[in-house]
Structure 1
Amino acid sequence: MSTFWRSSRTVFVLIVASVMLLLSACGQNKGGAATAPADPNKPLAGKRIALIMEFNTGTFSQQYVQGVTEEVKKFGGELTTFVAENKKEKMASLLESAVNQHFDVILTDHGTADVLQNGIQKAVERKIPVVVFDADIQIPGVTVLSQDDASMAKVTLDQLKKDVGGKGNIVKVWVAGFAPMERRQTEYAKFMSENPDIKEIATFGTAENPALDAQSQMEAVLKQYPKGQIAAVWTAWDEFAKGAARAIQQAGRNEIKLYGIDMSDEDLQMIQDKNNPWVASAAVDPKDIGRIQVRYAYQKLHGDQTEDSVVLKSVLVSQDSLPDKQISTDELSQYVKGWGESKQGIADWMKDYGVE
């Protein structure tokens, strides 16, 4: 074989390989969402959105992410999700990385001010819009979404008081260090001071494996306090409620009623079970939370003036308001007024993107 032929064949192979590599690269897209083609009617399409989560434990978080994903898709955006797995340093690092990668928008889920402050400040300085959910951040230009935690705690505690006749021993499952938990605890402390005939006999809770830990801890409390010595359990998070409810049900302690905060499909299934102690929960549709957060992010991209603080309204979902047939949270609005129908954050111009 001649030297000329060998050289020509090598050049041909290199050209083919380069073309294939180029075609392959053109077909890839980080975040799993296709970048929308240029459309003069949809100038905000194709934006890169970063979601920084402290954790994604449980079905509530999964449904929240679903809401974010669905709304970003309507706007033609590209979503990339980063999860810190309950590690503060990792969340700060992920936020810093998102800023350095010049995402068009940054969304955060939970976290604390000491973890998020520096990264969010850098994002603002670089003109990157930021919308925060459930963290105590006070930086001009940053919109912070929060559930009405005081109201959620109050309505569940009032229901507990009504059901136990205003007196009895109760157990609290709660953990410090999270802005929504702290706000719920403030309302709980107020309630306890106003109701001296209701006594707290045990309290526990951790953010690490919360449901499993709550179940284990509740099992120990049940052994310590025999039947008739516990009237109710109040939990500040649905992950706690799931674990504590399982322990109570498995122990056959049907005299105990349980009250929670937050709602997911898994939670709803438990509340609909007449043999389950979990009888009521105050909640905002987790999908709605995700949708609303995205809407405010796109308002910022559009140049709209946005509030610094947005409070999400909750509803009380009680066992006696639900049908006998099993339903999902998608059907809950048929039985609970105000569920999953929030129009918060919607601007008229969003109709062009199918958001209305």
Structure 2
Amino acid sequence: MKSWGKSSVILLLAALLLVISACGQQKTGSGGTEQNNPAGSASQTNPQDGQASLKGKRIALIMQFNTGTFSSQYIEGVKDQAGKLGGEVQVFASDGDLAKMASNLDAAVNQGFDGILIDHGQAGALDAGVKKAVEQKIPVVVFDADIKVPGVTVLQQDDQKMAEMTLEQLAKDAGGKGTIVKVWVAGFAPMERRQIAYKAFLDKYPDIKEIAAFGNATNPALDTQTQMEAILRKYPNKGDITAVWASWDEFAKGATRAIQQAGRTEIKVYGIDMSDEDLQMIQDPASPWVASAAVDPKSIGRVQVRYLYQKFHGDKTEDIVVLSPSFVKREDLPKPPEKVNTAQLDKYVKGWGSSEQGNTEWLKQLEGSK
């Protein structure tokens, strides 16, 4: 009895060791072994599965302004990048009406869009809707608005740099002295940043004097043209006005048309932002608009979509992304009759249209897999 008991114990221990060993390993289809490790299993997931889950995203683009060629080219950039990644974009136009914009944002949240892009707007009107989207796990990426909601990425142009570029060129061309008209409007985050540079400019050049200032965001090009015509009547003599600094391309277009129609092309116009229409006006040797600082509007749209897809993917994104501007001068462009558009501008202006901000290797793979 005693000898038989020892043998049973040995056999029992051997069997127990075999069970433990089998639990520690898992046979694979190829005959190898794989550690029973949850993290290891996740790392073996087919990357194509993750890419597939990012396709077919419904994206809402909520816009405060939807007029002018800058806006149309920005929309092109958004739709182009989203389409390359397998997404679909619906534009909610607000016609400059903040209450309508807030309503559009609320509608996008209620309709269950996968992601939301916001173009301009103000925190007072949009914060509640943005917070509601975030609470419902809808990622949000904003362009040029003063939104400060945790989890939301805000893109902004380097507005102070753009203002500095144009104002320094104005001062150089004017020899550091003269009289200028400012076209600007308060109440918008990018405008407030541009105003900081403008104030510094007046302090730096005390012999440059502002003789008039105005600006209206409603029908901006037409309103600027009307108001500029009135200022030209008030200052009718050559030399009364040295230049116009326009803090938005819609303002620059209106001022340019008024000056041309009045035959006062000795007055030079310096603007901010760029579109195909703007470029044609700058390239025209008879136009008073001689320079503009800008970020390619199509690039803005593309970068904004990339950051939204990073959020879809679960990547950690920055709170604020600053977009670097380029400076476009007539003297750098080809002479007429040769014409150039923004798609060709990179041949003449360094850095134009080539932004890779927000791009990642997996995004490039997703784009290539479509």
Gaps of 5+ in 2: 1-47
* Partner deviation per Cα, 1:93-116 (whole Å, 9 max, x = no partner): 111111111111000000001011
Distance apart, 1:355 and its partner CA: 6.3
* Alignment partners' CA distance in 2, 1:122 and 1:179: 22
Look up the equivalent residue of 2:327 and give its one-letter code: L
Matched with 2:230 is: 220
Give the length in aligned residue pairs. Answer: 319
Percent identity, aligned pairs only, is 65
The alignment status of 1:247 with 2:258, answered yes or no, reads: yes
Q: For 1:165 and 1:183, how far apart are their aligned partners in 2? A: 25
**Structure 1 CA distance for aligned equivalents of residues 280 and 317 of structure 2:** 37
Check if 1:103 corresponds to 2:116. no
- In the alignment, residue 185 of structure 2 is paired with which amino acid? V
Look up the equivalent residue of 2:173 and give its one-letter code.
D
Q: Which residue of 1 aligns with 2:326?
A: 315
The 1-side partners of 2:244 and 2:206 are apart by 16
Whether 1:349 aligns to 2:362 is yes
Correspondences of 1:117-266 after superposition (within 5 Å): 117-226=127-236, 227-266=238-277
**1:332 to 2:345 alignment:** yes
> How far apart, in 2, do the equivalents of 1:260 and 1:40 lie?
44
With structure 1 as the length reference, what TM-score do the two structures score? 0.88
> Are residues 184 and 355 of structure 1, via their aligned partners in 2, closer, same or farther at CA, if it must alter by over 3 Å?
farther
| Cα distance in structure 2, aligned partners of 1:202 and 1:255 | 17
Tell me which residue corresponds to 1:14.
none
Residue 194 of structure 1, CA deviation: 1.9
TM-score of the aligned structures, taking structure 2 as reference length: 0.85
Q: CA deviation at 1:251?
A: 1.1
Corresponding position: 1:293 with 2:304: yes
Distance in structure 2 (CA, Å) of the matches to 1:347 and 1:125? 27
Q: Give the counterpart of 2:288 among 277, 288, 309.
A: 277
Change in Cα spacing, 1:131 to 1:229, as seen in structure 2 (3 Å) is: same
1:17 maps to which residue? Answer: none
**Distance 1:86-1:355 versus aligned 2 partners, 3 A rule:** farther
Residue pair 2:256, 2:288 contacting (<8 A) in 1 also: yes
Counterpart of 1:84 (choices 89, 94, 102) is: 94
Name the counterpart of 1:75.
Answer: 85
Using the alignment, how far apart are the partners of 2:276 and 2:185 within structure 1? 23
- Give the distance between the partners of 2:344 and 2:368, measured in 1 at CA: 20
Let me know the Cα RMSD of the aligned residues.
Answer: 1.3
Amino acid at match of 1:316: F
Tell me the distance in 2 between the aligned counterparts of 1:40 and 1:329. 35
1:187-236 deviation digits (Å, cap 9, x = unpaired): 10111122111000011110111000111111111111122110000000
What's the secondary structure of 1:69's corresponding residue?
A: helix
1:139-158 CA distances to partner (integer Å, 9 max, x unpaired)? 11100000000000001000
8 Å contact from structure 1 (residues 42, 352) kept in 2? no
Matches of 1:347 and 1:218 in 2, distance apart?
A: 46
Alignment correspondent of 2:59:
49
Alpha-carbon distance between aligned partners in 2 of 1:127 and 1:221, rounded to the nearest angstrom: 51
Secondary structure class of the residue paired with 1:328: coil
1:131 partner SS:
strand
> What is the one-letter code of the residue matched to 1:254?
T
SS in 2 for 1:279: strand
Instruction: Please report how far the alpha carbon of residue 39 of structure 1 lies from its aligned counterpart in structure 2 after TM superposition.
Output: 7.0
- Give unpaired runs (5+ residues) of structure 1: 1-37
Aligned to 1:26: none
| Matched residue type, 2:239 | G
Q: Residue 45 of structure 1 aligns to a residue in which SS?
A: coil
Cα distance in 2 for partners of 1:337, 1:40 equals 36
Q: Counterpart amino acid of 1:196?
A: P
Contact conserved, 1:149 with 1:184, CA < 8 A, in 2?
yes
Q: Is the CA contact 2:79–2:88 (under 8 Å) kept in the aligned structure 1?
A: no
Structure 1 residue 93 corresponds to structure 2 residue 106: no
Q: Contact conserved, 1:175 with 1:181, CA < 8 A, in 2?
A: yes
Q: CA deviation at 1:42?
A: 2.8
Q: Give the superposition deviation at 1:353.
A: 2.5
For 1:298 and 1:182, the matched residues in 2 are separated by 29
User: One-letter code of the match for 1:327?
Assistant: V
AA aligned opposite 2:182: K
